[in-house]
Structure 1
């Protein structure tokens, strides 16, 4: 894979006790050291005009000024230092690079994966929250839609971070040109992402939330992707498929109760790659969360290995009753006609 990376993103340092540490990127790079076919690409930083396509300009200018004044606590979870604004610009720029590379034909072993930070999926139109200042995947999706260089009319975003991507949902909730899917832990921060949040106005039906119960594992996540997610996105027929790739649903991540294995990320990547191939959509990954350094590194490494030719190992578990009920409710709310495949 090609990994979008910038040393500038290490300069955003919220402090040694904060889980969203620069060591996340260092761990990823260390984990990829001995892997075959790894390429790093540095991209141009995003300017405020491009970010303002999905964010309030006054808000963005406030963040820039906040950082220039030395930063501090924007809210109890979201902390900046003087260098944070430059890191934000580079993180969004790397996300835009991933989209451009995908739309220009990068696929297979060249599939792009942006590993910028700070992450973005909690940043709403006019505010920062949850470690996020600018919504990288939203900026990148809008860049694809706005660019005259690419014939993009519809973008799909699949967010598998354990936390609901409330910011991405907020930005595109009334839009029909972006279909947002979030598979997340039910009841976890920020408390949004109920099944009945499906969009409004022109965007009615183009938001899908799959709130999984605590304890959910590999089979349940695969059932979500193979069932309602695949069915809905195949009908939507996107030109571009983006993964908001958080790795904090891993069973050894310190801040969640979902029980995915490292192998699950190979399986999820493989299923979404197939979906992109079947819909002839360009395909790219953009990093979100993941706070256990070893499992973050291992999980991204196994995604890379999947695109380097490794065959994922299928789970032998079955789908739990609580997760089955969630998936059936998602199917019902979205009016989908399909039978769940639960590995039984």
Structure 2
């Protein structure tokens, strides 16, 4: 894979006790040293106009001023230092680079993966939250739609971070040119992402939330991908598929109670890659969360290995009843008549 990366993103340092630390990127880089075919690309930082295409301009300018004044606690979870502003612009710029590379034909072993930070999927139209100041995936999606060089009418975003991507949902909730999917732990921060949150106005039906219970494991996530998520994406027929790739649903991540193995990320990558290949959609990955350094690095590495020819190992378990029922509810909410191989009796 091609990995978008910038040393500038290391300068955003919210403190030694904060889980969203620069060590996340260092761990990924160290793990990828063992892999062949890894290429790093640096991209230009985003200008304010590009960020303001999905965020309130006054808010964006206030983040710049906040950082210039030395930063501090924007909220109890979201902390900035003076260097954060440059890291924010570079993180969004790397996401835009990944989109451009995908739309220009980068695929297979050249598939782009932006590993910028801070992450973005909790940043709403006019506010920062959840470690996020600018919504990198939303900026990248809008960049693709706006760029004259690309014939993009529809973008899909699949967010497999364990937390609901409330910011991405907020930005595109009334839009019919972006289909947003979030698969996440039910009831976890920020508490949004119910099945019946499906969009409004022109965007009615273009938001899909798959909240799954604590303890959910690989088989259930794969069933959700293969069932309602792929079903909805097929109907939407995007020109571009962006993956908001958080890795905090791993069973050894300290911040959640979902029980995914490292292999689950290979399986989900394989299914979304197959969908993109079958529909001729451009495909790019954008880093979100993941706070256990070893498992974050291993999970990013296995995404790379999947594009490098490694065959994922299929799970041999069946869906547990509670998660299976939740997946069926999602299909019903979106009017999808799917043949779901789910064990609803437990």
- Length-normalised TM-score, structure 1: 0.99
Q: Is the 8 A contact 2:324 2:343 kept in 1?
A: no
Tell me if 1:208 matches 2:208: yes
Q: Structure 1 regions of 5+ residues with no counterpart? A: none
Tell me the equivalent position of 1:92. 92
SS at match of 2:286: strand
Q: Is the 8 A contact 1:219 1:342 kept in 2?
A: no
Runs of 4+, deviation exceeding 4 Å: none
1:21 positional shift = 0.1
User: Are the equivalent residues in 2 in contact too, given 1:316–1:343 (CA < 8 A)?
Assistant: no
* 1:92 counterpart SS class: helix
User: What is the DSSP-based 3-state SS (H/G/I as helix, E as strand, rest coil) of the residue aligned with 2:230?
Assistant: helix
Distance in 2 of aligned mates of 1:342 and 1:260:
18
> SS at 1:284's partner residue?
strand
Q: Show CA shifts across 1:280-339 (max 9, x none).
A: 100000000000000000000000000000000000111000001101110111011111
Give the structure 2 partner of residue 154 of structure 1: 154
Match of 1:283, SS?
strand
The aligned residue for residue 227 of structure 1 is 227
Does the CA-based 8 Å contact 1:173-1:206 persist in structure 2? yes
Aligned twin of 1:253: 253
User: Deviations along 1:99-131, whole A, 9 cap, x unmatched?
Assistant: 000000000000000000000000000000000
Shift of 1:343: 8.7
Separation in structure 2 between the aligned mates of residue 301 and residue 96 of structure 1, nearest angstrom: 22
Q: Aligned pair count? A: 344
- 2:281 is equivalent to residue 293 of structure 1: no
Residue 180 of structure 2 aligns to a residue whose secondary structure is strand
Q: Answer whether contact 2:54 2:142 (CA < 8 A) is retained.
A: yes
- CA distance in structure 1 between the partners assigned to 2:283 and 2:221 by the alignment: 20
Unpaired runs of at least 5, structure 2 = none
* 2:174 counterpart residue number: 174
Q: Which TM-score applies when normalising by structure 2?
A: 0.99
CA RMSD of aligned residues (A): 0.8
| Distance (whole Å) between structure 2 residues aligned to residue 272 and residue 153 of structure 1 | 20
